[in-house]
Amino acid sequence: MSRAYYITTPIYYVNDVPHIGHTYTTVVADTLARYHRLCGDDTFFATGNDEHGEKVAQAAEARGVTPQAFVDEVAAEFRSTWETLGFSFDRFIRTTDADHRKNVQNILQQVYDAGEIEFREYDGLYCVGCERFLTDRDLEDGLCKDHERAPEKRSESNYFFKMSAHFDWLVETLNNQPDFIRPERYRNEVLGMLRDQSGLEDLCISRPKERLEWGIELPFDSNYVCYVWFDALINYLTAAGYPDGDGFERHWANVDHLIGKDILKPHGVFWPIMLKVMGAPIYQHLNVHGYWTVEGRKMSKSLGNVVSPLTMRDRYGFESFRYFLLREMVFGLDGNFSESALVARNNGDLANKLGNLVNRALNMTARFCDGQVPSPGTPGASEKSVADAAELARREIDGHLSALEFHRALESLFAFVDRVNQYVDERAPWKLAKDPAARADLETTLYTACEAMRVIGVLLAPFLPEAAAEIRRRLGSTTEARMEDAAWGQLQPGTATTKGDPLFPRFEEPDGAAS
């Protein structure tokens, strides 16, 4: 039986349209999902939208529409964008979905019945942007660190999840499972929160309806709705079929969450404790990435530098943008986007290296072998070194993806591309073609180049699925790639090939902004 694998993105809040930050996380999730499918794993990939809370209610009111109409419009835009960009998700979940609402209410009742929720008075500083009460740790010069504005003083009676009683358990879990939160710096950050505890306390999980009606009603008190984060985190269970859907237990036992570092606290503290109290297994890994800046500056609407994935697709093709995101950011650290850097990556790696290899190998096969893969002779040392390089690339890509080293996985793949280009230069088939006595060497060389291209078309599939499929199509294959296809020597002599247009066009240096 194949292994199970479940990958999630955060469900994106409906206060914005898709931008480079959302896109990067989804590209990473899609790459991992595609890689696990390539390896034959029983893979499930979920993404979606977080649709409740005070910010949504305020945005809807400002637009003069109901909250439901507002979230329907934004969710449709997210889903349409992700489908247009070719992401391979299995479930697009919305927190307004009926099965999610049912799960949230059932879990709330379960936790309440277990004595883990209590009603109490609370005075504090509330940030509408964060949709929660703040502590001193969250403030800088009296302002919310994330939203740079003063919080409101509020006094309310609310329900609280007795989260602090489980902090010691979470510390023990983090110490016993060093890769529970990756990279390690974020595990250390959560341990610091738990050690300090000035920014942590019991979690307020309700909002009074007299202030906010847009949310999931508490099953034990109809005067309150659920706090948006307690609601939102449960999406990961719902999306996979909780509590008794087909395959739920297998997938949940192998779940990887992907998030940006701005939502580390709810995912690294709230969520595992919620799962513990529910009696559900905790997630396998929480994988945390950094921020994208644009031309070295923080991305913001006011600066006009928000990067749209659809704009990048229209300007450069989405796979060039996708390649840049995976190749340029070291997972866990911040990355910087510029169109100049994207063009340099496209022209250098994709057009000059990969595209040039595909172009010249197929052109020479068309010219010297009537467009058919030739029969190779006995491989020599050069051919064996190319086959060895293919196997090395496969092993290294597997190791790097297991460690979330997407940039290094692509380095390994393009090291193989470089080796094949070097081999073609060394063997110089255009010279061999001039010597009738070298016909066997010519055919061996072109077979090796085409076979290397075929392997590249398999290994590239998780990263650039459209380009990988096109490479395989030009070599006569229209089937889905499988990892066993990366084994050397499977290309059949006599296979008809297609030259086609350049795989990746070159672009000029951009003049304008990246928005």
Catalytic residues: 19, 22, 127, 130, 144, 147, 298, 301
Under a CB-based contact definition with an 8 Å cutoff, are residues 59 and 217 in contact?
Answer: no
Both tokens of 427, joined, read: 């063997």
Measured from the Cβ of residue 324, the count of other Cβ atoms closer than 10 Å reads 26
Instruction: List phi, psi (to 5°) of 211.
Output: -105, -35
Dist. CA 215–CA 206, nearest whole Å: 10
Dist. CA 370–CA 497, nearest whole Å: 9
What is the Cβ-side half-sphere exposure of residue 212, based on CA atoms within 13 angstroms? Answer: 28
Under a CB-based contact definition with an 8 Å cutoff, are residues 208 and 224 in contact?
Answer: yes
Under a CB-based contact definition with an 8 Å cutoff, are residues 209 and 227 in contact?
Answer: no
Both tokens of 58, joined, read: 């305020």
Under a CB-based contact definition with an 8 Å cutoff, are residues 297 and 305 in contact?
Answer: yes
Dist. CA 330–CA 407, nearest whole Å: 6
Dist. CA 150–CA 276, nearest whole Å: 34
Q: Angle 318-328/309-316 helices, nearest 10 degrees?
A: 120
Instruction: List phi, psi (to 5°) of 352.
Output: -75, -35
Dist. CA 489–CA 439, nearest whole Å: 20
